[in-house]
Amino acid sequence: MSTDKIECDTHGQAFTTFVCQHLVGGEGLEWHSTEPDEENPWPDAWCGECNAAFEREGEWNEKSESEVRIKIVCHRCYESTKARCTVHYV
Ligand SMILES: [Zn+2]
Ligand SMILES: [Zn+2]
């Protein structure tokens, strides 16, 4: 579980999570991530567009990762964005 903290402009101190650039503040997008569990309640997430790179390579490797810009968001921003997206677990 991630214990890194960030200071969010909206939410104050919160946990660090990672999503692709398109999902930051996104709405109505496709949300792809592994299934959250106790160890990792906020797995890294990416959108439908970035998923095309993932599916082409079949995994996250140097090539697929080079096409995706990952942004840091707080876990509450993560959750509110996720609630506005269509969630697919890989
Ligand atoms: Zn994306
Ligand atoms: Zn936040």
Q: Is the pLDDT assigned to residue 3 strictly greater than 90? A: no
Count CB atoms within 10 A of the CB of residue 82: 19
Please answer whether residues 41 and 1 qualify as being in contact, where contact means their C-beta atoms are separated by less than 8 angstroms: yes
pLDDT in tens, 30-85: 999 999 999 999 999 999 999 999 999 999 999 999 999 999 999 999 999 999 99
Runs of H (alpha helix) within the chain: 48-57, 62-66, 75-83
Q: Is the pLDDT assigned to residue 1 strictly greater than 60? A: no
Q: Which residues are in the CB-under-5-Å shell of ion ligand 1?
A: 20, 22, 47, 49-50
Ligand 1 centroid – CA 18 distance (Å): 11
Please answer whether residues 21 and 87 qualify as being in contact, where contact means their C-beta atoms are separated by less than 8 angstroms: no
